[in-house]
Amino acid sequence: MEKLIERFLKYVSFETTSDEEAGVTPSTPGQMVLAKYLKEELESLGLQEVFLDDNGYLYATLPANIDQQVPVVGFIAHMDTAPDMSGKNVTPRIVQNYDGGDIVLNAAESIVLSPSQFPELKNHVGEDLIVTDGNTLLGADDKAGIAEIISGVEYLMQHPEIEHGKIRIAFNPDEEIGLGAHKFDVERFGCDFAYTFDGGEVGELEFENFNAAAAKLTFTGRNVHPGTAKNKMINSIRVANHFISMLPSHETPEHTEGYEGFYHVISFNGTVEQTVVNYIIRDHSRERFESRKREFQHLTNKINAEYGEGTLKLELRDQYYNMREKIEPVMYVIDIAKEAMLASDVQPVVKAIRGGTDGAQLSFKGLPCPNIFAGGMNMHGRFEYVPIPSMEKAMKVMVKIAELTAKRSTNLTKLT
């Protein structure tokens, strides 16, 4: 377990923040630096078929140690960290035997990780926590997953008495900008099913996620001197606000939970002449998701009818879909994960992701791929932390999944 933590602390020292404006894969050079480091580590451990492609996707194999036909199971994590906050010069600190009180991350800046704001901390009293210094995110999303998978593979190599089939692992770039699965080579990976280790709290097991779309709204106005603007000016900022006001005011992230969908405005930049507004649209129900997209088109038509054709240009693109429809036909992959958790003294918490995951896109590319906890909490910001026991349990679950896949192989239907 010491090696697990040593790995994690090393991985977070790499700056791997992704960049959605880059237009290349990986989107930032630091991700390839980490990928090359991981490649050398996997080779030094003795894994086979270690391959790093030009886009920063790293694959490796742990061969089976039994002769019987066993489905090939994969384990996946991503190398990038979210662009929401800096991932440069991460300075982690271990808080030993957490006492349940406030944790001062940065005294000079009065940055405090407090259970009054993050009550989940109380679930980890008595545990060792890895925290930030308040200036960066931590990177447990998803470098904890990388450390858990590699440590799990190493554990299997050191314990040949645990029988398992062929295991494939993969680490990909750019998950945080929605591009992690786009250039993932499912055929090269060669798995019957896989799991991403990219969840949060201990026990999380997710095979449902949002259907997701992105909308770019470009409002074109007409600028005239305000002193003579009557019946002439079209203020694109006001038109954009008109559009926003026509959407349900409480169908937003800050007013929804569980299976409730939303419209979320993520940027607004404008002048009288032109305003550009970006939205994301989310819903677990495919039917409601399609309805939400139709509503955007309907409101676009209303704006153009009122202010003139061409006032509003709508660019709408789907980002990913709910993986549930691809997992339900092969629910044994969920059964294996549940059994592995219970065998590792972890209570499964099956929940729907209010977001997306590489596993969703991979499932639609033919690789059923639910998501399992990696332990990180408060991800994407300065208050991110990870309890060390959570990482240890994730690693144990990964090992147990490999073992159970072999034990249950006679009852599994080979995917085609």
Q: Coil, strand or helix: which one is 69?
A: coil
- Which DSSP state fits 234? B
Q: Coil, strand or helix: which one is 205?
A: strand
Length reported for the chain: 416
Cβ–Cβ under 8 Å, residues 157 and 46: yes
Q: Nearest CA to 48 among 172, 169, 214?
A: 169
Q: Output the CA–CA distances (angstroms, integers) from residue 152 to 233, 274, 303, 400, in the order listed.
A: 65, 53, 56, 9
Q: Coil, strand or helix: which one is 210?
A: coil
What's the sign of the alpha-carbon dihedral 131, 137, 140, 146? Answer: negative
Q: Which of 41, 175, 204, 392 is catalytic?
A: 175
Q: Output the CA–CA distances (angstroms, integers) from residue 258 to 62, 138, 247, 288, 353, in the order listed.
A: 38, 26, 20, 15, 9
Alpha carbons 76 and 371: distance in angstroms, whole number: 9
Q: Which of 80, 148, 176, 208 is catalytic?
A: 80
Give the other-Cβ count within 10 Å of 328's Cβ: 12
80 is catalytic: yes
**φ, ψ at 399 (rounded to 5°):** -60, -45
The residues annotated as belonging to the active site are 80, 175
